[in-house]
Amino acid sequence: MPKSKTTKAKPVSATATATAHTSAAGKTTTASKERNKSRRLLDTHDSTESSSDDEQSEDKQPASAPQIPGNVIRKLLAFSLLLLVLPILAYFGSLKYIFVGSPASSAIVAVIVANFVLGAYVYAAWIEDASEHAAHTSTRKLKRR
């Protein structure tokens, strides 16, 4: 008895699917084109995922966000709270005690106070950056000696 050769089934490719979904005129239908396009995108996505998995297994160290010092966060929260509270207090205080019954003038005072708080925050950040820069340059000068 002759032995029959067994062949493995090949996976259906995008082009085979496209030829299977042809219309009577021999043109590929829009739906089959969209399916083929999405299959190609999925194949590309799978291959990039496997390469990124290989890279992560080599490093085994998760990417960490830059560390922000606690004093910077405290300063930001303090100025945010001041920016929320001081203009409101300035508006109602000036409305009741300075410009009795004049909301436009009180609003101008509130805007001036808000700008003052923002300016103070920028100044504090500038001073902090200047002191860090001075400390960095002095350390660098000491290393050169």
| pLDDT above 90: percentage of residues in the chain | 39
Asked, for residue 8, whether it belongs to a domain, the answer is: no
Would the pTM count as exceeding 0.85?
no
Residue 30: the pLDDT is 66
Inform me whether the pLDDT recorded for 33 exceeds 90.
Answer: no
91 near 107, Cβ under 8 Å?
A: yes
Query: Which amino acid, 8?
Result: K
Asked, for residue 92, whether it belongs to a domain, the answer is: yes
Residue 82: the pLDDT is 98
122 near 130, Cβ under 8 Å?
A: no
Token digits for 24? Answer: 């009577």
How many angstroms separate the CA atoms of 78 and 124, rounded?
12
Closest alpha carbon to 94 in 79, 113, 109, 112: 109
Q: Say if residue 44 is in the same domain as residue 89.
A: no
pLDDT tens figures, 96-125: 999 998 999 999 999 999 999 999 999 999
Asked, for residue 50, whether it belongs to a domain, the answer is: yes
Question: What are residue 62's phi and psi, to 5 degrees?
Answer: -70, 150
Residue 137: the pLDDT is 76
Greatest CA separation for the chain:
113
The number of distinct structural domains making up the chain is: 2
Please give the residue range of the domain that contains residue 20.
14-58
CB-hemisphere CA count at 13 Å for 107?
Answer: 3
